[in-house]
Amino acid sequence: MSYNQHFARHLRLGILRLLAESPGYALNSSIMTDALDSIGLAASRDQVKVEIAWLAEQGLATAEELPGLVVAKLTERGHDVAPGRASVPAGGGRRVAGLPGRTVALGGSAAGPAPSGRASVPGVQRPAPKAG
């Protein structure tokens, strides 16, 4: 996977998580770009708009274009994907689940299901299940 594909996945997850934490589950692309930069995801405003459009195509957010910016709002499905309660199709018929506090593959190709039956995310080690 290329750096750009990897970065786009992180950017999409960052957008979903910012929307999930925002009042009314909505933000404009300008504020979102600044917020993403503050968490180490430096992206141009155009990159953020492109990823908002991708999330809207997947039904994870809505996108309303206004002069100079886009207002994104989290959908019910997006609200489930952001913390990892739901997954997004990830190319090749595979599904990649979100892992709370971890990365999530949103689009592109990804590793298949892990032995546990949940999808794996390349480069992320999953904690062992808690006994109990």
Q: How do residues 91-121 score in pLDDT, each as one tens digit?
A: 433 333 343 333 344 554 333 333 333 333 3
Q: Report residue 131 CA to chain centroid gap.
A: 30
pTM above 0.75, yes or no: no
Nearest to 72 by CA among 123, 127, 27, 130: 27
pLDDT category of residue 51 using cuts at 50, 70 and 90: very high
Long-range CB pairs of 36-41 (<8 Å, 24+ gap) are 36/11, 39/14, 41/7, 41/10, 41/11, 41/14
Q: Is residue 64 domain-resident?
A: yes
Q: What is the CATH number of the domain that holds 14?
A: 1.10.10.10
Alpha helix ranges (H) inside 42-128: 45-57, 76-81
Q: Which residues contact 60 (CB under 8 A, 6 or more apart)?
A: 16, 74, 75, 77, 78, 81, 88
Does residue 125 fall inside a structural domain? no
d(CA 132, CA 85): 21
pLDDT at res. 115: 33
pLDDT 10s digits, 7-32: 999 999 999 999 999 999 999 999 99
Provide the number of structural domains found in the chain. 1
Strand partners, 62: 73
DSSP state of 117: S
Is 47 inside any structural domain?
A: yes
- How high is the mean pLDDT of the chain? 76
